[in-house]
Amino acid sequence: MTAIHSPDGTPASRFAFGAMQFGGKADEAASAAMFEAALAAGITHFDSAFLYTDGRADEILGRLAAPRRDGLTIATKVGYRPGSGPETLQQEFDTTRRRLGMERVEILYLHRWDPQTEPERRMDWLAETQAAGGFDHIGLSNFAAWQVMKAQGLAAERGTRIAVIQPMYNLVKRQAEVELLPMCMAEDILPVPYSPLGGGLLTGKYSRDGAAGRLKEQENYARRYGAAWMHEAAQGLAGIADELGTHPATLAVAWVASHPAHPVPILSARSAEQLAPSLQGIAYPMDEGLRARLSALAPAPPPATDRLEEQA
């Protein structure tokens, strides 16, 4: 699997922390507490993006990371909006580096596939910026498998490669299992999935009256996790967690990390207290039997090709 290291050679941790809430739901003090808790749990891989909280996430992460910069893996993203050609990518990358207070980062993602910009132009910019020392590894976020492989072919023509992808993946959002995660295993690409807790659904908190969070506050999250079976799966997860004497978030995070593609889940929260159960998932023993039991709570997506029953 792709090896990613910090400037001083420290291997990137098997779990990452996402700064999306920094400067938003998490103020500077809460952000600092989560950053320190993540470090204490062994996390050295921190993820941000040009768009997060209008740049405050970058600024706070940069200040927190500065004293330890050489031992940390820093990732950021550019190019979320359609029509983000090389000029826009350069402007956003310059801005995010300035906010972070860093001349270079270890991973730079294209935040999403851009149907309005020729992929050749974006890959030209990535390859040139990488060669100039702006970042170490090319990443792609929210790309379909065919889009990743299209980009991989273009990268190879330019003497580089796609090393990392960032898909959504959790117990009730398992589309990545169909093609993305097998692709990662076959092509030596590191998967760094986001939303291991399903926007908070898999913490079990939405089964309580008056629960607050993204599913209640943001329409896109309410739609994404609105299906009744998803809430039933969350209740089942909470029941198993109670039986095992642990927290549902701990099981949810450990389940994501236990996939054979060895995903690096991005953990995040609004406070250190909220983050704690996810951090406990780092060392939680997820054997094949428990993984299968949890997997049975939610339907697996259908395979990418039909007629598989004829191969039996």
> In total, how many domains does the chain have?
1
Decide if 305 is inside a domain.
Answer: no
Decide if 113 is inside a domain.
Answer: yes
β-bridge mates for residue 105, sequence order: 135
**pLDDT tens per residue across span 144-159:** 999 999 999 999 999 9
Parent domain of 52: 16-166
Catalytic residue positions? 52
Which strands make up the sheet holding 45-47, listed edge to edge?
A: 190-191, 162-166, 135-141, 105-110, 73-78, 45-47, 16-18, 266-267
CATH of the domain at 90: 3.20.20.100
Q: Residue ranges of the alpha helices (H) in 177-312? A: 180-187, 214-217, 219-224, 228-244, 248-257, 272-280, 288-295
Decide if 68 is inside a domain.
Answer: yes
**pLDDT tens per residue across span 37-87:** 999 999 999 999 999 999 999 999 999 999 999 999 999 999 999 999 999
Decide if 233 is inside a domain.
Answer: no
Is the confidence at residue 312, as pLDDT, over 60?
no
β-bridge mates for residue 190, sequence order: 164
The predicted model scores a pTM of 0.94
Is the confidence at residue 207, as pLDDT, over 60?
yes
Decide if 312 is inside a domain.
Answer: no
